Structure 1
Amino acid sequence: MTLLILGILIFLGSHLVHVVAPGFRTAVIARIGVGPWRGLYSLVSLAGLALLVYGFGEARAVTGMLYNPPVGLKHLTLLLMVPAMICLVAGFLPAGRIAVAVKHPQVLAVKIWALAHLLSNGETASVILFVAFLAWGVILRISLKRRERRGEAVLPVFKSSRYDTYAIVIGLLLYALMVWRLHEWLIGVSPLPMS
């Protein structure tokens, strides 16, 4: 469990540097340059992610259940993952109406993903992981909203509706792949409810 928590702190903490220490990034870039900063940031993020993944695998083997969700919530999780995948893809594409409407589609995708998985996973390590990511998403969204009001955050500017079509098609394809085999291959658990 220690490695999981340490991984969460490093990975999500590195993604909250701008929120908790707004001038830190700028000061470090001024001192060492953009390239070294990106390298250092990437290294810390990857180390945190590796610890998180390894720690989660270890913790799942030894932690117990906090709650046993009803099977119906597993169905709801599957349903919620459709918009999560579409928002995730929309965040990587030039802005369509989806990106403009939700403003920060990748952050919304993480929040939906975390909430959906909290509904269907009552195992202790899973709850810790998904609560951490949900809290990260909420904190980041609040910070982005404040930065928008100050004129600091760059909001997506509409380019074309075709990017919404791409986001929906690619998002549904990724969703189908995850449900079909990818989730089980990557995570070791089938996302399909047993009944």
Structure 2
Amino acid sequence: MFSLLLGLVLFLGIHSISIITPLYREKFVKKSETVYKAVYSLLSFLGIYLIVTGFGALRTDTSVIYVGYQSLRPLVYLFMLVGFILFFAPYFPGKIKAVTKNPQLLSVIFWAFSHLLVNGNLADILLFGSFLVWATVDLISMRKRHQRVVSPLKTSWVNDVIVIVLGTIVYGTFAMFLHGYLIGIPLMS
């Protein structure tokens, strides 16, 4: 459990600098953007590694906090499709990006919430619950912060088509093949 918790603290902590101290982040970036990005990336990757190994180890513990509703799987699949589409929206600005404002944070919320609907073990609650709380807090804090430009592309309806097609293809690939291979839980049998 320690590995999972440390990974969550590292990953979500480094991703929370803009929430907690946006001026401190800007100060670091102005001083040396390369060093800031290197430290950010290093702590993010270390956090991901610890989250993956910690989650895998804790998942063998069958501490059930609540029983997930397996009958909600079709809703989960729909939420995840929306989440994958939203994930790519910042990189291809269009109406989807304009309406949602912060599509990647919404993507994380869809991902975490949908997984909590069907999973109630301690490991699931720690992982998905932490990301759900973080993304919600970050989404709220975005109302007060200056938005950074993610993509140099011009806003276009064509980008919405790209986002929908790309998100659907990646989602389909992940659901049919990669979830079972990477996570160990096949979705389509």
Tell me if TM exceeds 0.5: yes
Q: Which AA in structure 1 matches 2:105?
A: V
Between the aligned partners of 2:69 and 2:51, the Cα distance in structure 1 is 27
Q: What residue in structure 2 maps to residue 153 of structure 1?
A: 147
Question: Structure 2-normalised TM-score?
Answer: 0.92
Flag structure 2 segments of 5+ consecutive residues without an equivalent. Answer: none
Q: What residue in structure 1 maps to residue 4 of structure 2?
A: 4
Between the aligned partners of 2:28 and 2:168, the Cα distance in structure 1 is 40
Q: What residue in structure 2 maps to residue 45 of structure 1?
A: 44
Distance 1:70 1:61, change over 3 A: same
How far 1:37 moved relative to its partner?
1.3
2:85 is equivalent to residue 86 of structure 1: yes
Flag structure 1 segments of 5+ consecutive residues without an equivalent. Answer: none
Q: Which AA in structure 1 matches 2:25?
A: R
Q: What residue in structure 2 maps to residue 36 of structure 1?
A: 35
Question: Structure 1-normalised TM-score?
Answer: 0.89
User: Does the CA contact (< 8 Å) of 2:3 and 2:54 recur in 1?
Assistant: yes
State how 1:162-177 maps to structure 2 within 5 Å.
Answer: 162-177=158-173
Deviations 1:7-50 (A, max 9, x none): 0011011000111122222333455x111111111111111111
Between the aligned partners of 2:114 and 2:124, the Cα distance in structure 1 is 12
Q: Specify the SS of the correspondent of 1:159.
A: coil
Between the aligned partners of 2:7 and 2:27, the Cα distance in structure 1 is 25
State how 1:57-96 maps to structure 2 within 5 Å.
Answer: 57-93=56-92, 95-96=93-94
Between the aligned partners of 2:54 and 2:15, the Cα distance in structure 1 is 19
How far 1:63 moved relative to its partner?
4.1
Between the aligned partners of 1:86 and 1:181, the Cα distance in structure 2 is 18
Between the aligned partners of 2:132 and 2:39, the Cα distance in structure 1 is 25
Between the aligned partners of 2:168 and 2:30, the Cα distance in structure 1 is 42
Q: Which AA in structure 2 matches 1:96?
A: G
Between the aligned partners of 1:22 and 1:161, the Cα distance in structure 2 is 32
State how 1:98-109 maps to structure 2 within 5 Å.
Answer: 98-109=96-107
Q: Which AA in structure 1 matches 2:172?
A: A
Q: Which AA in structure 2 matches 1:153?
A: Q
Q: Calculate the aligned-residue CA RMSD, in Å.
A: 1.8
Between the aligned partners of 2:148 and 2:177, the Cα distance in structure 1 is 37
Between the aligned partners of 2:187 and 2:86, the Cα distance in structure 1 is 19
Count of aligned pairs between the two proteins = 187
